[in-house]
Amino acid sequence: MLEDFMKRAGWMTKLLVGISVLVSIITLSGTSREITSLFTFNWELIQQGQLHRLVTPIFLHFMIGSLPIHLIFNMMWLWDLGGSIEKDRGPWYLLTLVLIIGIASNMAQYFTEYWMEGYVSSRYIFGGMSGVVYGLLGFIFMRRKFDPFYRVPLHPGIMQFMLIWLVLGFVLNSTGMVGIANAAHLIGLVAGGALGVITAKTKAF
């Protein structure tokens, strides 16, 4: 059973999971501010050349209560969705999707905060692979919709479940009880879906 589970993901998926786990450990799940600050999205520093910050927030994960639910949940979806794409198209194809979706979702989250507040506090920290996960989900869903020969499977109930969770995130944020990166989720889903349509139409990817 363990062998079958391990075979579901290729080396790129495993590497992305490994980096996420490692970053969670060295940042103490985001509680070590000094180390966490090395991975955060900071537009001023990005403009100064620290381009890695466009991507690195996807590797940050935080505790929910005292449990690593944020990390576990995202890694499970990445293993399943990312692993399926990698098995079908290869590791560099998956990495390209992750980078495009990750940058789009991170920028969306940052600039949504700026749009809503008029500024972004230097203490504003967000992160997680969930924007990418939503993007991979959107990619598979739209690719299958426009390319009937696309081989990556997707259970029909998964999209409904994730859309419900997306809406729930906006509801929970409106209460002020929690902080969920809803813009990253939404734009990640849209970006992934757009990539799914484009690659299905061009037939070159």
Q: What is the pLDDT of residues 71-99, one digit of tens each?
A: 999 999 999 999 999 999 999 999 999 99
Name the architecture of domain 2-202: Up-down Bundle (1.20)
Residue of 84, 105, 130, 174 marked active site = 130
| Position with higher pLDDT, 11 vs 116 | 11
Tokens of 75: 């890694």
Tokens of 56: 């690195």
- Model confidence at 203, in pLDDT bands (50, 70, 90)? confident
Q: Record the pTM.
A: 0.94
Rg (Cα) of the chain, in Å, rounded? 17
What was the pLDDT predicted at 172? Answer: 85
Q: How far apart are CA 186 and CA 14, in angstroms?
A: 25
**59 CB neighbour count, 10 Å cutoff:** 20
Is 185 one of the annotated active-site residues of the chain?
yes
- Model confidence at 2, in pLDDT bands (50, 70, 90)? low
Is 66 one of the annotated active-site residues of the chain?
no
- Model confidence at 54, in pLDDT bands (50, 70, 90)? very high
Q: Is the pLDDT of residue 7 over 90?
A: no
What was the pLDDT predicted at 181? Answer: 92
Q: Are 135 and 105 in contact (CB under 8 A)?
A: yes
Q: Tokens 């079908």 identify what position?
A: 88
* Alpha carbon 11 to its chain's center: 18
Residue of 20, 84, 105, 185 marked active site = 185
SS3 30: coil
Q: How far apart are CA 144 and CA 85, in angstroms?
A: 12
b/e per residue 86-124 (b: at least 16 CB within 10 A)? bbbbebeebbebbebbbbbbbbbbbebbeeeeeebeeeb
- Model confidence at 179, in pLDDT bands (50, 70, 90)? confident
**Mean pLDDT calculated for residue range 37-61:** 97
Q: How far apart are CA 43 and CA 112, in angstroms?
A: 13
Residues 6+ apart with CB under 8 A from 116: none
**Mean pLDDT calculated for residue range 129-141:** 98
Q: What's the chain's length in residues?
A: 205
Percent of the chain with pLDDT over 70: 98
Q: Is the pLDDT of residue 27 over 80?
A: yes
Residue 110, H or E segment: helix 91-117
Across the chain, what does the average pLDDT equal?
93
